[in-house]
Amino acid sequence: MKKQLLFLLSLILQVAIFGQVNNGLKAYYPFSGDAIDLSGKNNGILIGKPVLTTDRFGMKDCAYLFPGDALNYIRVNYDSVFDVSPQGAFSIILWHQGGSAATADYEQLFQKGDPSNTNNFGYSLALYDINQVVFGNGLQGLWSRNVNFQFPDTNWYNIVAIYENKNWYLYKNTVLVDSDTSRKYDIQKANNNISIGKKFAGKIDDIRFYDRALNTSEIGQIYKLSSSCQVTSNTDFYTKSTINIYPNPSDSKFTLQLKESSENINISVYNLTGAELLKYNFNGDNIVIDLSSYQNGFYLVKIQYNGITEKRMIEKK
């Protein structure tokens, strides 16, 4: 009973966190025992052996630790959701701890593009030259000397990088520390994967990607959130996931599809207050989730099958 109550409290916390600032949220990596994107669309793939570690709250298996080389990182395969036009906007927000003592190194926190090909480079948030934050398009942008982390440093830092119609902004722990509003530097097109933690020595957690510019109030809300980590029963199921939910978003009905037929599949659907709205148990490989009677917004779907628990966010609009 106690475990059930703890799980419910954790679930309520998670959906509440997700619901506070969800407008334009296209990808979210809480690293809760895995590298999945909670939208279910752009799961991370472990390259080499980045390992799960404690997060900023001391919770086990709730962040990823990277060794600082090019062989161990998280890759997110190309998806147009991460494409940004020169007149467009996006925000990257994440937590990190660590960095190397090397000078003239380039540690990728979140990068889209090929640094060896400046004609095919989208954008990058990284650490450079003893842990100075870099945010730009590979050629130009913010090379901030206002966010200089000491080494060694065991503190966690919240970094927010915002691009909006050729304007660039960089925040550390909710404070604007650097910006460029000259509108001289735009986004370059890059049909590349996303790299997380490549050549970075340290921990990364709670990555969010928005297709719009966050405002200062929203940055503050996210900064104050407590842990969203809820480790699943199988910490490597991102490599084995057999679930697809489509269409997502939808105006009413969602099809949950398994790649293989299974038995005794339990599904629960929760709203953003943590209330369980729908519950299904079925055998087979697909079922329709009907939200026709519910208002527009985000919902959390919890799927339990074959000893595995998976979570997906769906949006009715």
* Per-residue pLDDT, 275: 76
The answer to whether the CB of 54 falls within 8 A of the CB of 44 is no
* Per-residue pLDDT, 104: 77
CA count, 13 A, side-chain hemisphere, 87: 0
* Per-residue pLDDT, 234: 38
Which residue numbers in the chain have pLDDT < 50? 1-19, 232-240
* Per-residue pLDDT, 145: 64
The answer to whether the CB of 264 falls within 8 A of the CB of 297 is no
pTM attached to this predicted model: 0.72
* Per-residue pLDDT, 235: 36
* Per-residue pLDDT, 40: 63
Q: Tell me the per-residue pLDDT of 259-307, one tens digit each, with 9 for 90 and over.
A: 888 899 999 998 755 678 999 999 999 999 999 999 887 788 889 888 8
Could you give the domains of the chain?
15-223 (2.60.120.200), 242-316 (2.60.40.3080)
